[in-house]
Amino acid sequence: MSRVYLIPNHHEFENPKQRIELTEEMLSWPIVWKYNPNGQVAELTYKNALKALLKLGQFDVILCLEVNQEEKIFNPPHRCWGSILLDDQSVIGFSHDTRYDNKPFVTLTEWPEIEYEAVLCWTTQKWKRFFIKRIKSNTLDLQRSAEANVKKTNMELAQQQKETDAIMLALEKI
């Protein structure tokens, strides 16, 4: 099972002291929307995405989602950024929407970069397939880029291949 770390906002992304590890029990907590009053309709979708992130095997995740442990609620911040990591190295990040001049993601439901209504019906399995597909495509893009860059040394290419192999192996174990 992956470890999913929740942070209060995108400014705390690199601050490990601000991280709270998501547990199965926490998935029953409600999501209270401060910044997006229409977001309440996306609560099930958010929970399905969180469940999927917990099922990414060896990968860890950092996600902007404020946690109020006293009230046992989640408060999505005004920007929902995230990163999927393997061995403390980011494999893929979610911060800006390429469809709209790289505007910051406001909710997790924007990460697939498709129409909002289409994402609302996504199951946990659909979210998991999305994350796996994005990890694979991003990793292969990085590998192709490394191979295309003739200035890279053989050592750098070997390191990139090692990282690609580790990511693909971790994906096979999911």
- Residue extents of the structural domains in the chain: 3-172
Predicted pLDDT of residue 169: 94
What is the token pair recorded at 74? 């989640």
Write down how long the chain is. Answer: 174
Q: What is the sign of the dihedral through the CA atoms of 45, 50, 54 and 57?
A: positive
Helix (H, G, I), strand (E, B) or coil at 1: coil
How far is residue 122 from each of residues 24, 81, 90, 141, 169, measured CA to CA in Å? 19, 19, 25, 26, 26
d(C-alpha 162, C-alpha 142), whole Å: 12
d(C-alpha 75, C-alpha 65), whole Å: 6
**Is 70 exceeded by the pLDDT of residue 150?**
no
**Is 90 exceeded by the pLDDT of residue 59?**
yes
**Is 80 exceeded by the pLDDT of residue 39?**
no
Report DSSP state, residue 31: B
Q: How much is the pTM?
A: 0.82
Predicted pLDDT of residue 16: 84
Helix (H, G, I), strand (E, B) or coil at 97: strand
- Please compute the mean of the pLDDT values over residues 51-56 and round it to a whole number: 96
Predicted pLDDT of residue 128: 96
Side-chain half-sphere CA neighbours of 3 within 13 A: 10
Span 105-139, pLDDT tens digits: 888 888 898 888 889 899 999 999 999 999 999 89
Helix ranges, the chain (H): 43-53, 116-119, 124-148, 154-172
